[in-house]
Structure 1
Amino acid sequence: MGGYEMIPQVSVIIPAYNCDRYITEAVESVLNQEACSYEVVVIDDGSTDQTRSVLQPYSGRIRYIYQENQGVSLARNHGIKLALGEFVAFLDADDFFVPGKLAAQLAVFEAQPHLGIVHSGWYRVDSQGKLLMTVRPWEKVPELNLESWLLWKPVLPSAMMFSRHWLESVGGFDPRFPPAEDTEIVLRLALKGCPAAWLRQVTVGYRQHHQSAMHKGLPQARSLSAAIDNFFQQADLPQAVRLLENQVRYGTLVWIAWYL
């Protein structure tokens, strides 16, 4: 955005915890975005490494906020409260945006202003940034609605852009479900009627390493199961959604088995 002389279209929120090895690449990938206005909000969630010092050269180009360690959900929620943009994009500190990501997703919102979420594909890369796989979730999940979110869970926050209004309407992320808080909030959004659509292109690099969600194994499995339990324990679920419960629970077990 080159300063804060105008209200940005999108606020990019980067929660960071002990990620000094990768965070400059994440920040640079946002600052290299073109054809849109944005702000970068880094929420340092109590890092004990060199995160603060490696971000010092970006003073004036990003908003850096330090908080005591509270977890990624509350770090993201802090960012949402500070956000100035109509739209919010999250970027994990070890991931990176592909050039043109923000403008491409904003264009979908401009063409379909009723949307609350614009999702996309991603590159899965290793710790060195080497390509492992290109993920195009729309090939298996062509439509994004409550049923498909429940059955397939094609959630990756860094590949998504949200309407800030919708995030605020559900109260942000729930800290009870790490590291499946991203799936949990999408289910709440979808249940409330939040419309979502695909941008059928890759917009982010997702780094797979020993600290990433894919390698959290058993905690990820327990968290996802708890999030699904919480969803179906709601007393006022529509009957059509209730009828999906057995299928969703079976699919969740399969998903967990694959990740473990």
Structure 2
Amino acid sequence: MKPLVSICIPNYNGEKYIRHAIESALAQTYRRTEIIVVDNASTDGSWNIIKSFRRIKKFRHKANMGYDRNLNACIELAKGKYVKVLHSDDLLEKDAVKMQVEAMESAPTAGFVYSPVKLIDENGDFIGNFSAGDAALVVPGKQKLAELLNGNHIMFPSVMIRAECLRKVGLFDGEIPYCNDWDMWLRISMKYDVAYISSVSASYRVYSQSGGTVRYETSDISGFQMYRCLTKTLSAISDESILKNGRRYYKNLAMEQISRGLSLIKTGRKSHGRRYVLAASSIHDGFLFRLSVYAIYLLTYAGMSGIILRLGKIK
């Protein structure tokens, strides 16, 4: 018998897109699936849309539990050998589950499989592809861990996870909602290999900054959460060759915060931008780096952010 696949769809106020997400799950050419939708006490009309589907398992919380608890509640209901999370604004290609089950069944050491995705905008229009390579392969966990310590290059809707992995490494971390997917890929890579297929399996919705519903508010907090995720991961690693990648990413992450902050200041969002800049000093603890960050922070009050942006890298 073919293995059961659980497609888990957490929803909160997804009225605009939830129907399309569910329909893409129902349209899978791989038929042995269960589709689980858990609504997080939505205040829009999405629950009525969810109720209109007969071939899905649907549950609703009486009170909002927060994104991560709702996501984990959805996964805890899964009975499949494999688990696939589909956010209510993303879409699956019709052969997604079929391709990924085949990949996982042929790679018993793999904890999860991922693939390229299509990027679409709020209207569903194609923006481009996000790909991690052209060849299908199984990457040793140690190698994938080192790659992931340079940043997250795996898009959530493209992933299918072996359920036993979740039982071993635990569910998604509610303390770091901005990067809980990255944290999960890191944790699994510590214990399992990772499979990759080169065919697009999903569409990931990208929102413009001017509108749309966003999953998380991107702020200076996001950088600090990534720092916490990185620190947690490095504390569990003893291999020096892998640790080097993680330590290098501390500085890259801090530089991203500074660049983001200065760009915000330049567009008039000064207080928000300065929080980004200060966050960089918490991420990278080198004395000269911190001194440079504080200098940049003070210079922003002198209206010199444009000059700073042109100075280039700090040591």
Q: TM-score, normalised by structure 1?
A: 0.87
Match of 1:63 among 48, 53, 57: 57
Task: Specify the alignment match of 2:233 in structure 1.
Answer: 231
Q: CA deviation at 1:244?
A: 2.8
- Corresponding residue SS for 1:102: helix
1:13 aligns with 2:8: yes
Tell me how far apart the structure 1 counterparts of residues 153 and 25 of structure 2 sit (CA, whole Å). Answer: 23
Task: Specify the alignment match of 1:85 in structure 2.
Answer: 80
Q: CA deviation at 1:254?
A: 5.5
Q: CA deviation at 1:41?
A: 0.6
The answer on whether the counterparts of 2:178 and 2:216 sit within 8 Å (CA) in structure 1 is: no
Tell me how far apart the structure 2 counterparts of residues 255 and 106 of structure 1 sit (CA, whole Å). Answer: 37
Q: CA deviation at 1:185?
A: 1.4
Task: Specify the alignment match of 1:105 in structure 2.
Answer: 100
Percent of residue pairs bearing the same amino acid type: 24
Tell me how far apart the structure 2 counterparts of residues 201 and 256 of structure 1 sit (CA, whole Å). Answer: 33
Which piece of structure 1 moves more, 242-251 or 150-159?
242-251
Task: Specify the alignment match of 2:158 in structure 1.
Answer: 159
What residue identity is the alignment partner of 1:247? R
Q: CA deviation at 1:149?
A: 1.3
Task: Specify the alignment match of 1:3 in structure 2.
Answer: none
Structure 1 residues 258 and 204, CA gap change in structure 2 (3 angstroms): farther
Write the mapping of 1:140-179 to structure 2, written as runs, cut at 5 A. Answer: 143=139, 145-179=144-178
The answer on whether the counterparts of 1:7 and 1:85 sit within 8 Å (CA) in structure 2 is: no
What residue identity is the alignment partner of 2:233? F
* Unaligned segments of structure 2, at least 5 residues: 262-315
Work out which structure has the larger RCO, using CA pairs closer than 8 Å and 6 or more positions apart in sequence. Answer: 1
What residue identity is the alignment partner of 2:249? V
Tell me how far apart the structure 1 counterparts of residues 214 and 134 of structure 2 sit (CA, whole Å). Answer: 24
Tell me how far apart the structure 1 counterparts of residues 93 and 39 of structure 2 sit (CA, whole Å). Answer: 23
Tell me how far apart the structure 1 counterparts of residues 29 and 258 of structure 2 sit (CA, whole Å). Answer: 41
1:22 aligns with 2:17: yes
Q: CA deviation at 1:236?
A: 5.7
Tell me how far apart the structure 2 counterparts of residues 57 and 49 of structure 1 sit (CA, whole Å). Answer: 15
- 1:126-146 CA-to-partner distances (Å, cap 9, x unmatched) read 100001111112269x85611
Tell me how far apart the structure 1 counterparts of residues 198 and 256 of structure 2 sit (CA, whole Å). Answer: 23
Tell me how far apart the structure 2 counterparts of residues 258 and 83 of structure 1 sit (CA, whole Å). Answer: 41
Which piece of structure 1 moves more, 41-50 or 72-81?
72-81
Which piece of structure 1 moves more, 123-132 or 107-116?
107-116
Q: CA deviation at 1:259?
A: 7.4
Task: Specify the alignment match of 2:277 in structure 1.
Answer: none
Q: CA deviation at 1:184?
A: 1.0
Structure 1 residues 7 and 110, CA gap change in structure 2 (3 angstroms): closer
What residue identity is the alignment partner of 1:172? L
* Unaligned segments of structure 1, at least 5 residues: 1-5
Which has the larger share of strand?
A: 1
What residue identity is the alignment partner of 1:62? I
Tell me how far apart the structure 1 counterparts of residues 118 and 189 of structure 2 sit (CA, whole Å). Answer: 25
- 1:72-116 CA-to-partner distances (Å, cap 9, x unmatched) read 222221122211110000001000101100001011012212211
- Corresponding residue SS for 2:115: strand
Q: TM-score, normalised by structure 2?
A: 0.73
Tell me how far apart the structure 1 counterparts of residues 222 and 128 of structure 2 sit (CA, whole Å). Answer: 21
The answer on whether the counterparts of 1:217 and 1:259 sit within 8 Å (CA) in structure 2 is: no
Task: Specify the alignment match of 2:273 in structure 1.
Answer: none
Task: Specify the alignment match of 1:199 in structure 2.
Answer: 197
**CA RMSD, 1 decimal:** 2.5
- Corresponding residue SS for 1:182: helix
Pairs aligned (count): 251
Which piece of structure 1 moves more, 181-190 or 83-92?
181-190
Which piece of structure 1 moves more, 85-94 or 248-257?
248-257
Tell me how far apart the structure 2 counterparts of residues 257 and 138 of structure 1 sit (CA, whole Å). Answer: 30
Q: CA deviation at 1:231?
A: 2.2
Task: Specify the alignment match of 1:247 in structure 2.
Answer: 248
- Corresponding residue SS for 2:87: coil
